[in-house]
Chain A
């Protein structure tokens, strides 16, 4: 595997707006290979926007700034090219796709990722084995995978399916946008175990969450605080504990 000389993800002075309204302003963020970075911040501070911009959602206007991933200019790439290079976004609200069976979809995505790396398609038994292993780990009923993608899935099932897809695609950078919201206590543990199983010196995680509890399961190396479209503080895991006690008031003022 390629070993990047610099950080895996480097965001420099990124300003983003939507319909002319600024959402991210001069945002700087660095994530290193092997790192688990948490992002916490009040509602509407721009966390999902940041996640979408990393994944390449077309609606946003990049006003200025840069995003480098493994030394490549991410902003030049289509969402699928970013995914093929190893960027993965687990959606805060996974999208329902009626008429497309979950299994069929996952097989197509896995093969698309493999082909982009010059690998051949997986055989069906090989694919089925991987799905079986991953769904057992995430305690997802395989019968569900015959149903149309995300359609009629409960909130928690959708989140687990996101992690299942992540486990199959084995990305380099995993951006998890509030994967813990909507999960019951047991599911939170199952999903965290799934994420921890993927921890690797070559892989990085950007974990967006509102709750310290997730970070008890997925121990972060760094915690960033986001307010009003920028990173206003960074620290160790203790920062999350402090936020839990005191809320965001101090940081909201800092950003203003």
Chain B
């Protein structure tokens, strides 16, 4: 008689060993989380929400856990920060998932950042469970009730490893009643050996408002990012991502509107070239009345890259008067580029207005011809159309400072694209603000 034999992949076996040897298993909470992860193991296509990203196949092994940053790593992180234009008034710096106090700013009184395990959020996903099991540290950023933070708060995730390392980071962001803040999260420094599993819990109390921008610019082998949001009555979250780097990027968003009249606006611009892959999978649950949700994602896909957008908006029984709209639009620049788009609605209430759509296409040849008859070479015309395509997405953040922060990596990617396509300097001289 043979028992049911579970065939573990190399990566899964390594993860099990890491979990034991790093003494993480002594915590019952972690042990429970690891148990939830290992029950199904790394996700494959058979898991619906992972249908387009077979992580088990993609992950040949799990990289060794990144150690706490030493002084060399901290200096490397400092150098990365020095090279960038500073955008934020207040900066929090995590190096390989750990806070480096000497690189951080002092916060204003209404804002605190502390080492603390956030309260659990009920989301059933193997990589969310793995993050809970493996994250050595967790942090909570709190904005006090009624506080309106004027400057931009930045959370910078830096990886300095030169070789294969896995990095777990875990942050919760709590906005108190009526609080408001603008946040930017940047992922920097990761080279092609880095496997990242980053998790953020966003909790907005009644009437809180957050604008949140995420930049994924570095070149991790694996960038897995989970965002778990809860919006109370009248809360508003506007979350936008720009992805211009990473061999395999998976962003998964699980947001829930738990109070009435909450409003969520999600958007993103994904820029893909080479053999890169990027998967955005989101779920928005309307659990209370009169909520509004908007999801607008755009992608530019070149070469043999593959983009994926899976969006599911669930309108529960109680969520009458929900107003939802979801759209995914992609431009393919090469015959071998691919985009998978699957927007879905699951509506259990009867009095709702919801719509969704997806378009995938190439640049319009009539537009290109028109532009070329005015002297622009094909490349310049294409760049202009692409810039317009991306700009329309970026504009939805409705914040000048954040929009500017998004344009910089977008233009940098466009310039690199031009160099790759035609050679030369890749200068985009026509760029001017449209105002």
Q: What is A's interface to B at a CB cutoff of 8 Å?
A: 55-58, 78-80, 82-84, 87-89, 91, 94-95, 97-101, 104-105, 107-113, 116, 121, 148, 165, 169
Number of contacting residues on B, CB 8 A? 26
* Distance of A194 Cα from B430 Cα, bound (Å): 27
**Chain A hits for B381, CB < 8 A:** 80
CB proximity to A under 8 Å, residues B354-395: 365-367, 369-378, 380-381, 384-385, 387-389, 391-392
Verify B375–A83 contact, CB threshold 8 A.
yes
Give the complex CA separation of A169 and B372 in angstroms: 13
Among B372, B385, B389, which residue has the most Cβ atoms of chain A within 10 A? B372
Name the CB-closest residue of B to A107: B430
In this assembly, does B434 line the interface, its C-beta being within 8 Å of a C-beta of chain A? yes
| A99:B373 contact, CB within 8 angstroms | no
B365–A109 touching, CB < 8 Å: no
Q: Which of B388, B392, B430, B432 contacts A97, CB < 8 Å?
A: B388
Question: Given the complex of chains A and B, what is the CA–CA distance between A87 and B385 in angstroms?
Answer: 23
Contact sample, A vs B, 24 pairs, CB 8 Å cutoff: A55-B373, A78-B372, A78-B377, A79-B373, A80-B373, A80-B376, A83-B375, A84-B375, A91-B370, A95-B366, A95-B367, A97-B388, A98-B388, A99-B385, A99-B391, A104-B434, A107-B430, A108-B384, A109-B374, A112-B375, A112-B376, A112-B377, A165-B374, A169-B375
Task: Pick the contact of B434: A79, A80, A94, A101 (CB < 8 A).
Answer: A101
Q: A56-B373, A112-B376, A112-B377 are in contact. List 9 more A-B contacts (CB 8 A).
A: A80-B372, A80-B377, A87-B373, A95-B366, A95-B369, A99-B388, A107-B430, A111-B429, A116-B375
* Contact status B391-A113, CB under 8 Å: no
Which residues of the other chain, A, contact B367 by a CB distance below 8 angstroms? 95, 97
Q: Which residues of chain A are near B380, meaning CB under 8 Å?
A: 108, 112
A122 CB to nearest B CB, Å:
12
Contacts of A87 in B (CB 8 A): 373
Q: Which residues of B contact A100 (CB under 8 A)?
A: 384-385, 387-388
Specify which chain A residues have a CB less than 8 angstroms from the CB of B373 in the assembled complex. 55-56, 79-80, 82-83, 87-89, 91
Q: Which 8 A-B pairs have the closest CB atoms?
A: A99-B388, A95-B370, A109-B374, A79-B372, A108-B430, A113-B375, A112-B375, A83-B375
> Judging by beta carbons under 8 Å apart, are B376 and A108 in contact?
yes
Q: Are B376 and A104 closer than 8 Å at their CB atoms?
A: no
Is the pair B391, A109 in contact by a Cβ cutoff of 8 Å? no
When chains A and B are docked, how far (Å) is the Cα of A94 from the Cα of B373? 11
User: Quick check: A109 and B375 within 8 Å, CB to CB?
Assistant: yes
B374 touches A169 (CB 8 A): yes
Contacts of A99 in B (CB 8 A): 385, 387-389, 391-392
Which residues of B are at the interface with A, using a C-beta cutoff of 8 A? 365-367, 369-378, 380-381, 384-385, 387-389, 391-392, 429-430, 432, 434
Give chain B residues whose Cβ lies under 8 Å from the Cβ of A113: 375
Which residues of the partner chain A approach B375 to less than 8 Å between Cβ atoms? Answer: 80, 83-84, 109-110, 112-113, 116, 169
State the Cβ distance, B35 to closest chain A Cβ, in Å.
50
Cα–Cα distance between A108 and B434 once the two chains are bound (Å): 13
Q: Which of B369, B371, B384 contacts A57 (CB 8 A)?
A: B369
Q: Which residue of B lies closest to A110 (CB)?
A: B375
Q: How far is the CA of A95 from the CA of B369 in the complex (A)?
A: 9
Chain B, residue nearest A175 (CB): B373
Separation in Å of the A68 CB from the closest CB of chain B? 19
Q: Taking the nearest CB of chain B, how far is it from the CB of A86, in angstroms?
A: 10
Q: Which residue of B lies closest to A166 (CB)?
A: B374
Listed residue (A79, A82, A104) with the most chain B CB atoms within 10 angstroms of its CB: A79
List residues of chain A with CB within 8 A of the CB of B378. 78, 80
By beta carbon, the residue of chain B nearest A83 is: B375
B434 touches A97 (CB 8 A): no
Q: Which residue of A lies closest to B428 (CB)?
A: A108
Q: Please state if A104 and B430 are interface contacts (CB–CB under 8 Å).
A: yes
Contact A58 B365 (CB under 8 A): yes
**How far does the Cβ of B68 sit from chain A's closest Cβ, in whole Å?**
46
* Inter-chain contacts of A56 with B (CB < 8 A): 369, 372-373
Could you tell me the distance between the alpha carbons of A91 and B366 in the complex, rounded to whole angstroms? 11
Task: Among A82, A88, A97, point to the contact of B371 (Cβ < 8 A).
Answer: A97
Cα separation A91 to B378 with both chains bound (whole Å): 19
Q: Which of chain B's residues have a CB closer than 8 A to the CB of A82?
A: 373
CB distance from B379 to the nearest CB of A (A): 10
Closest CB-CB distance, B387 to chain A, in whole Å?
Answer: 8
Select from chain A the residue with minimum beta-carbon distance to B365: A58
| Bound CA–CA A104/B431 (angstroms) | 8
Contact in complex: A109, B376 (CB < 8 Å): yes
A107 to B430, CA, bound (A): 8
On chain A, the residues within 8 Å of B430 by CB distance are: 104, 107-108, 111
Q: Which residue on A lies nearest to B383, using beta carbons?
A: A108
In angstroms, Cα B367 to Cα A91, docked, is 12
Q: Which residue of B lies closest to A113 (CB)?
A: B375
Chain A positions within 8 Å of B388 at CB level = 97-100, 148
Within 8 Å CB of A88, what residues of B?
A: 373
Q: How far is the CB of A97 from chain B (nearest CB, A)?
A: 6
Q: Are the CB atoms of B370 and A97 closer together than 8 Å?
A: yes
CB of B90, distance to nearest CB on chain A (Å): 33
Cross-chain contact B372 with A97 (CB below 8 angstroms): no
Please give, as numbers and ranges, the residues of chain B lying within 8 Å of A58 by CB-CB distance.
Answer: 365, 369
In whole Å, how far is A27's beta carbon from the nearest beta carbon of chain B? 20
From A55, A91, A105, A169, contact of B384 by CB (8 A): A105
Complex contact B429–A121 (CB within 8 A) = yes
- Given the known inter-chain contacts A78-B378, A97-B388, A108-B380, please indicate yes or no for A83 contacting B432, CB distance below 8 A: no
**B147 CB to nearest chain A CB (Å):** 37
CB distance from A51 to the nearest CB of B (A): 10
Question: Chain B nearest CB: distance from A79 CB in Å?
Answer: 4
Measured between alpha carbons, how far is A97 from B387 in the docked complex, in Å? 12
Residues of A within 8 A of B429 (CB): 108, 111, 121
The interface residues of chain B lying within 8 Å CB-to-CB of A55 are 369, 373
**Please, which residue of chain B has its CB at the minimum distance from the CB of A59?**
B365
A83 touches B370 (CB 8 A): no
Residue of B nearest to A168 (CB): B374
Q: How far is the CA of A135 from the CA of B366 in the complex (A)?
A: 26
Shortest C-beta distance, B63 to chain A (Å), equals 41
Residues of A within 8 A of B376 (CB): 80, 108-109, 112
List B contacts of A109 (CB < 8 A): 371, 374-376
Option from A83, A91, A165 in Cβ contact (under 8 Å) with B372: A83
